[in-house]
Each structure stands twice: as C-alpha cells, then as structure tokens.
Amino acid sequence: DDTGAIRWTMSSAFPVFDGRGDVIAAICSNTDITERTIYQAQLEETMVQINEYSLELEVQKAQLEEANTRLEGLATTDGLTGLRNHRSFQERLEADVQRAIKDGVELSMLLMDVDKFKVFNDTYGHPEGDKVLKAVGRVLSEFSAEPITTARYGGEEFVVVLPAMD
C-alpha cells in the first residue's frame, strides 16, 4: 500500500486442464492475510504470557504450600521441645479415644512432670531450665513414632499417649 506498511498475502494456484488432462492454464488467487497474521502473532504472544503466568502461579503455589506446612508445624509443635503442643495433643487425644472406643481396645496415658523444676529454674535460671525441658523433649521424641503421641502438656509437664496398650 502507499504507507509503506508490510502486507501479508496468501497465494493459491489452481490448474485448468484441457480435454486430454494437460494443464493449459492456472487460476491464481491472492488473499490479504495481514490482519490474520497480526492477530495470530498477538495470540502467540498472549499464549507465551499465559504460560509464563502459569509457571509463576505454580511457583507461588509451591511456596504457599511450603509456608502452610511450616505454619501448621508452628501451630501444632511446641517451639522449645519440638513435641506436639497442648492444643495439638488435645486434638490427637480426642481422635485416639474415639478410635479406642470404636475398636474396643485399651488406651493408656502417662502424665509426668519434671520434679523440683521450679527450684532448679530459680537456682540456675530460665536458660538452664529450658535446656532441661529440651533434653526431656529429646528423650520423649524417641518414643513418638506412630501410633504413640508425645507432647508438652504445659510448663514442665509432659504426656505420652499409648494406644492399644493397657
């Protein structure tokens, strides 16, 4: 055209045969496909952007799932000992009791505390008391394989739930 813009065309040729089957002519057709080509390029560019957004969403989804897993751990785990916290223990105990009733099996629970912990804490300070609680948590965590539940009940109190044990 007179603007000097690039135009896209599609050309097609169709043979014309005589009575013997020989090609004696051709009919040519030229179609301006400039707009279609522009739209197709825009569509391809849009698809690339959609794919990039999709990949970005997948990364964000994975990050969100990881953050949710960490958050769930923080919500259910005692920060000092690494055992279940009191709330998580209560939920698990309720499920264990219901399962024991349904299955008709025994359920035992040990509730224990660190003797004279307050005196130890007052004498040696809270950082040393925290070390004692962490040590107790490490020992109890060795017994926390399924189906046994170990938890920090509160303060210097700990609990172990033993399903199917009398």
> Annotated active-site positions, please?
156
- Judge if the upstream peptide bond of residue 147 is cis by omega within 30 degrees of 0: yes
CA–chain centroid gap for 53, Å, is: 18
